[in-house]
């Protein structure tokens, strides 16, 4: 099975807590002797996972990014399929909140969206297989463990997946700067898929046409748009607000 690297304390601890069987080896930067390191190494010993204390240079050579002094080699995580997604939705007793990202290519933005999705109780994050960032080590680091808790579904044909979601009763709300109504006029209380567009370009035409409703975030200043991860946070927490009141 293919292997990958996970780095950063939140990300490594999330694997340790949620999917310890994936861990193969852990490297920790020399000089760290705090309680966090002690707890992690004790757990690794209990699980029989090999760990080493190494010079920072070795960690820098293994991964590109702010590793915070810890890098783990893990089995590649299993990717969710559309079948997995619809099986999960069929088994839910409460209306799902889904996040659909149309062509978000920056792994930092993907990781930030995953982190917010976890905090907002999103049931799954859906992306197209083409022209979209993957959950690489950078995205996992930014996600701070959310990549190990929120199902990540890559679909071959996003438009077809959107149609299937609609057939399963999911209301699709997309964001577009030229929309007539605002985010705060939309109803997020039922089964909802929030559809967010790519950095700069927004939603693709076909994706936009499959949305049941288009809304915009009111902009009061001089800038005309928000970073996709920031906009996702604004929209998801409006959904959280409404769903807590319903």
Residues that constitute the known binding site? 197, 217, 226
Binding-site annotation, residues for S-adenosyl-L-methionine: 197, 217, 226
Tally the C-alpha atoms within 13 A of residue 85's C-alpha that lie toward its C-beta.
27
- Distance of alpha carbon 173 from alpha carbon 215, whole angstroms: 7
Pairing relation of β-strands 97-102 and 124-128?
parallel
Pairing relation of β-strands 50-54 and 152-155?
unpaired
- Distance of alpha carbon 4 from alpha carbon 136, whole angstroms: 8
């Amino acid at each position: 099975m293919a292997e990958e690297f996970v780095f950063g304390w939140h990300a490594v601890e999330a694997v340790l807590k949620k999917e310890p069987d994936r861990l193969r080896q852990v490297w920790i930067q020399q000089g760290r002797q705090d309680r966090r390191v002690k707890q992690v190494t004790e757990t690794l010993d209990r699980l029989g996972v090999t760990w080493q204390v190494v010079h920072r240079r070795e960690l820098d050579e293994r991964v590109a990014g702010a590793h915070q002094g810890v890098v783990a080699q893990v089995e590649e995580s299993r990717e969710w399929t559309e079948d997995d997604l619809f099986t999960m939705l069929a088994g839910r007793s409460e209306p799902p909140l889904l996040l659909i990202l149309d062509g978000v290519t920056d792994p930092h933005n993907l990781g930030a969206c995953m982190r917010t999705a976890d905090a907002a109780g999103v049931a799954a994050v859906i992306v197209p297989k083409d022209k979209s960032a993957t959950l690489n080590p950078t995205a996992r680091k930014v996600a701070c463990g959310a990549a190990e808790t929120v199902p990540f579904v890559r679909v071959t044909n996003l438009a077809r997946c959107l149609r299937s979601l609609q057939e399963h009763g999911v209301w699709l709300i997309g964001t577009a700067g030229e929309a007539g109504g605002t985010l705060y006029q939309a109803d997020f209380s039922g089964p909802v898929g929030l559809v967010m567009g790519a950095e700069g370009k927004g939603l693709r035409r076909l994706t936009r046409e499959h949305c049941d409703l288009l809304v915009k975030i009111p902009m009061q200043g001089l800038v005309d748009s928000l970073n996709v991860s920031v906009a996702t946070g604004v929209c998801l927490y409006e959904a959280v607000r409404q769903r807590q009141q319903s």
